[in-house]
Amino acid sequence: MRIAVCIKQVPETKSVKMDPETRTVIRQGVQSIINPLDLYAVEAALELKERYGAQVTAVSMGPPQAVSALKEAVAMGIDEAVLVSDRAFAGSDTWATSHILAGALKKLGAFDLILCGERATDGDTGQVGPETAAALDLPVITYVNHIHELRDGILKVSRLVEGGTEKLSMRLPGVLTVVKEIGEPRLPTFRGKLKAKGLEIPTFTLETLQLDKNRIGLKGSPTRVVKIFQPEIVRSCEMLPAETEEQTVKAVDSMLAFLEDKAV
Ligand SMILES: Cc1cc2nc3c(=O)[nH]c(=O)nc-3n(C[C@H](O)[C@H](O)[C@H](O)COP(=O)(O)OP(=O)(O)OC[C@H]3O[C@@H](n4cnc5c(N)ncnc54)[C@H](O)[C@@H]3O)c2cc1C
């Protein structure tokens, strides 16, 4: 079986700062890490590899420094990794990103299963998994919290839905986006770190993928970030008299009415 894991490098959440002038995320000098939710996709791939045998490939689209996220995945046990990077890809929205990722996955040959995280902690749309599946014309199951079994090319999984779980079967090839409950990510091993250190990670560029320039970057992005702002938090305090039982009941009543009004 061939499994691909899509991983994104994101800024370390604690070190994210906004530029007050441009209101955009300051990426220069900010420590980058593997998207924490993608570690669960890596873990799911490695568990499947242990259970059924598989060759696992990690794919990341991003700037050259995204290689460190790929190396971290290799140190955890991923077999090989590919960076997808080109200036022409800059400015891509989720639609264009998915088109580029799909191009890279096609270039790597047929995969039985493609695993993605639930969402990236910076862009936070959760769109890239399903959109990549659409670009590859593959079925997708989102929010997968358990992989039950793989038998005769059919994968049985559970996915989280509001108030419970849903059991689904999918004939492979297909795409899953996984949630934290899928399994605690393992730590990189010493042997894995050594392998990652010496590994040459190939880069797929626009030339490698031969994609239509109208489908990538800003030109190929049908969505636009119209405004980025930090919501203003207004805090006010009102003292409610509660010296007698009657006043206490009234105070609780008005507090509940306030919360209901704010739909908390
Ligand atoms: C108009 C517009 C312009 C933008 N311009 C830029 C820009 O110039 N530079 C920039 O850095 N970003 C830019 N972005 C953000 C960029 O589109 C997103 O970072 C990217 O598409 C991923 O979306 P997301 O973060 O919401 O991922 P999600 O959809 O939340 O991620 C879900 C899962 O998909 C996979 N995944 C997501 N992204 C990648 C990736 N790159 N490689 C591999 N796997 C991935 C991971 O498994 C992840 O867990 C722009 C967005 C818009 C809308």
Rounded CA-CA distance 240/220 in Å is 56
Give residue 125 CA to ligand 1 midpoint distance, Å: 8
Q: Which CATH number fits domain 2-215: 2.60.120.560, 1.10.3720.10, 3.40.50.620, 3.40.50.300?
A: 3.40.50.620
Omega within 30 of 0 (cis) for the link into 20: no
Give residue 264 CA to ligand 1 midpoint distance, Å: 31
**Residue of 7, 8, 111 to mutate, ligand 1, most atoms within 8 A of C-beta:** 8
Give residue 47 CA to ligand 1 midpoint distance, Å: 26
Confidence category of residue 25, pLDDT binned at 50, 70, 90:
low
The model's pLDDT over 231-257, given as tens digits with 9 standing for 90+, comes to 888 888 888 888 899 999 999 998 899
Q: Ligand 1 in contact with 133 (CB < 6 A)? A: no
By alpha-carbon position, which residue is closest to atom 22 of ligand 1?
A: 94
By alpha-carbon position, which residue is closest to atom 15 of ligand 1?
A: 93
The model's pLDDT over 43-96, given as tens digits with 9 standing for 90+, comes to 999 999 999 999 999 999 999 999 999 999 999 999 999 999 999 999 999 999
What's the confidence (pLDDT) of residue 230? 75
Q: Ligand 1 in contact with 121 (CB < 6 A)? A: no
Locate the domains of the chain by residue range.
2-215, 234-264
Q: Ligand 1 in contact with 44 (CB < 6 A)? A: no
What's the confidence (pLDDT) of residue 23? 57
Q: Ligand 1 in contact with 38 (CB < 6 A)? A: yes
Task: From the CA of 119, give the closest atom in ligand 1.
Answer: 30
Confidence category of residue 226, pLDDT binned at 50, 70, 90:
confident
Give residue 121 CA to ligand 1 midpoint distance, Å: 10
pTM (2 d.p.):
0.87
